[in-house]
Structure 1
Amino acid sequence: MSDQASKPTADDPEWDAAKAILHQVRLALGHLADTGETAQIDLRAQPLAPGDLERLLAWLGRGEVEATVTALGPTRVWESAVPGVWLVDHRDADDERLTLQIEVAPFPDILRSPPQDIEQAVATLDARLGAAVDGGP
């Protein structure tokens, strides 16, 4: 991302693709606010010309939260400077990008523990607590 990227103006044709995606984000944010329903925008499926992605990412900026999930390759998640707008970058074991998405949500899905993991966590903690009571670690 270039530090020299600027925000779009209404008459700048270089921003047309980024503006179209930003309008999608705006609609998704409004829908999230009204209904609580989240949305994903697959940036790899968008008709982006060279430089469009960099301009879009520069315009969205970076927020305060970042995370990396390691499962079959790294997934990097970061909050944009717009609350409720997250970037999710899935990569393979060779660090090649598989998908890049904008997720419009209070919290990105990939960072949520699935219900079955929570159920297993209860059993795991019960077993560990039982072992601790019985004199184990």
Structure 2
Amino acid sequence: MIDSESKPSVADGRTVPDWDGGWAVMRQIREALRCLVERREPRQIDLRGQPFAPGDLERLLGWLGRGEVAATVTALGPTRVWESAIPGVWVVEHRDGEERPLALQIEVAEVPAILRSQPEDLERALALLDERLGASSAGQL
């Protein structure tokens, strides 16, 4: 897992470090955040596809820092999600079942898509709840 715990963050009041590779991504993040604020339109930025120089990705994640929210989703492999120190700017790291990196993204959203319940899951949840309530209350609803 990428560790940005000890890197400088937005919250500590430092200015943006002098590094080339992160500026293009920072502009994309700023534009995505503007779209979220103005139109409630979430966006994703693929970090693996960026032309970073050695160390730029770590500097970017360090500069973004860590916020208060983190989650792990276990599906085909672990997906780790954490909010940066900038609210609404999330880091989403997908790995396979053997912990090999698959994707790394910045998601600018109120809540990352992977943490939202899918409509088909909600339908299944209602049926499951009805089944469990029926089994325990024998028609009292």
Same fold by TM-score greater than 0.5: yes
* Structure 1 segments of 4+ aligned residues over 6 angstroms from their partners: none
Unaligned runs of 5+ in 1: none
Which residue of 2 is the match for residue 127 of structure 1? Answer: 131
Unaligned runs of 5+ in 2: 9-13
Please tell me whether residue 60 in structure 1 is matched to residue 64 in structure 2. Answer: yes
**In the aligned structure 2, how far is the partner of 1:92 from the partner of 1:125?**
31
Counterpart of 2:111 in 1: which secondary structure? coil
Which residue of 1 is the match for residue 6 of structure 2? Answer: 3
Q: How does 1:25-40 map to 2 (within 5 A)?
A: 25-40=29-44
- Report % sequence identity: 61
Q: TM-score, normalised by structure 1?
A: 0.90
Cα 1:51/1:122, change in 2 over 3 Å: same
Q: How many residues align?
A: 131
**In the aligned structure 1, how far is the partner of 2:133 from the partner of 2:43?**
40
As a proportion of its length, which structure holds more helix? 1
Q: How does 1:97-136 map to 2 (within 5 A)?
A: 97-134=101-138
Which residue of 2 is the match for residue 47 of structure 1? Answer: 51
Which of 93, 108, 131 lines up with 2:97 in the alignment? 93
Q: Which amino acid aligns with 2:97?
A: A
C-alpha displacement of 1:91 = 0.2
In angstroms, what is the RMSD of aligned CA positions? 1.7
Q: TM-score, normalised by structure 2?
A: 0.87
**In the aligned structure 2, how far is the partner of 1:43 from the partner of 1:133?**
51
